Amino acid sequence: MHASLIRRQLSGLIPPKIATPKLVSGESGTGLGPLVDFYSKLPKGQATPRVSGIKGRFFSGKNASGTPIVALIVGLFAIGYTLDYNMHLKHHKNRAH
């Protein structure tokens, strides 16, 4: 693998403003103090997944409900009924029952 590809993949692990090449390349590791302080202050524990869009808004979290499913069913019924009614009216346009 090329060095630039590896560097690009590992760039997300070390914050660029804290870990400068001078600090990271030290032989004794004494210059890594700011980096260790930064990572020790990060929150520990389980990460909460962020879900966005319709799923995050209606089905996950504190606002979870079945309202979108009910609205979908009612909407499909209304569209189907409207189409069926209009087709029935076209069928009876020029002839009586």
Check if the beta carbon of residue 57 is closer than 8 Å to that of residue 63.
yes
Write out the chain's pLDDT in tens, 97 residues.
566 777 777 666 666 555 555 655 655 556 667 777 888 888 888 877 777 787 877 887 777 888 889 999 999 999 999 999 988 888 777 776 6
For residue 83, tell me if it sits in a domain.
yes
DSSP H or E run through 3: helix 3-10
- The span from the CA of 56 to the CA of 15, in Å, is 29
- The span from the CA of 21 to the CA of 78, in Å, is 65
The model carries a pTM of 0.43
Q: Give residue 83's domain range.
A: 66-92
3-class secondary structure per residue, 12-70: CCCCCCCCCHHHHCCCCCHHHHHHHHHHHCCCCCCCCCCCCHHHHHHHCHHHCCCHHHH
For residue 74, tell me if it sits in a domain.
yes
- Total domains in the chain come to 1
For residue 51, tell me if it sits in a domain.
no
